[in-house]
Amino acid sequence: MIDAIIAASLRRGELLPETFPDTRDPVRPFYDALAASDPAVIAEVKYASPSGPTGATLPPGLLAREMAAGGAAALSVLTEPTVFGGDPSFIREVKRYTDLPVLRKDILVHPAQIAESRHIGADAVLLIAMVLGDDLPAFVNHSFACGLEPVIEIADEVELQAAVATGARIIGINNRDLRTLVIDPDRASRLGPLIRSYGRIPVAMSGIMAPDDLRRYRGRCGAFLIGTAISSAEDPKSATEAFVCM
Ligand SMILES: O=C(O)c1ccccc1NCC(=O)[C@H](O)[C@H](O)COP(=O)(O)O
Burial of 158 (0-12, 13-18, 19+ CB in 10 A): exposed
Task: Reduce the DSSP state of residue 205 to 3 states and report it.
Answer: strand
Residue nearest to atom 14 of ligand 1 (CA): 206
Residue nearest to atom 1 of ligand 1 (CA): 49
Tens of pLDDT along the chain (246 residues) come to 789 999 999 899 888 887 776 654 556 689 999 999 999 999 999 999 999 999 999 999 999 999 999 999 999 999 999 999 999 999 999 999 999 999 999 999 999 999 999 999 999 999 999 999 999 999 999 999 999 999 999 999 999 999 999 999 999 999 999 999 999 999 999 999 999 999 999 999 999 999 999 999 999 999 999 999 999 999 999 999 999 997
> Which of 176, 181, 240 has most ligand 1 atoms within 8 Å of CB, for mutation?
176
Distances (CA, A) of 13 to 2, 59, 130: 16, 25, 18
Question: Separation of 24 CA from ligand 1 center, angstroms?
Answer: 30
Of 8, 241, 23, 15, residue with least CA distance to 142: 23
77 φ/ψ angles, rounded to the nearest 5 degrees = -125, 120
221 φ/ψ angles, rounded to the nearest 5 degrees = -125, 150
Handedness of CA 71, 122, 168, 2 (dihedral sign): positive
Atom of ligand 1 nearest to the CA of 208: 21
Q: List all residues whose CB is within 6 A of at least one atom of ligand 1.
A: 44, 46, 49-51, 105, 176, 178, 181, 205-208, 225-229
Whether domain 2-15+27-244 has CATH 3.20.20.70? yes
Question: Separation of 21 CA from ligand 1 center, angstroms?
Answer: 31
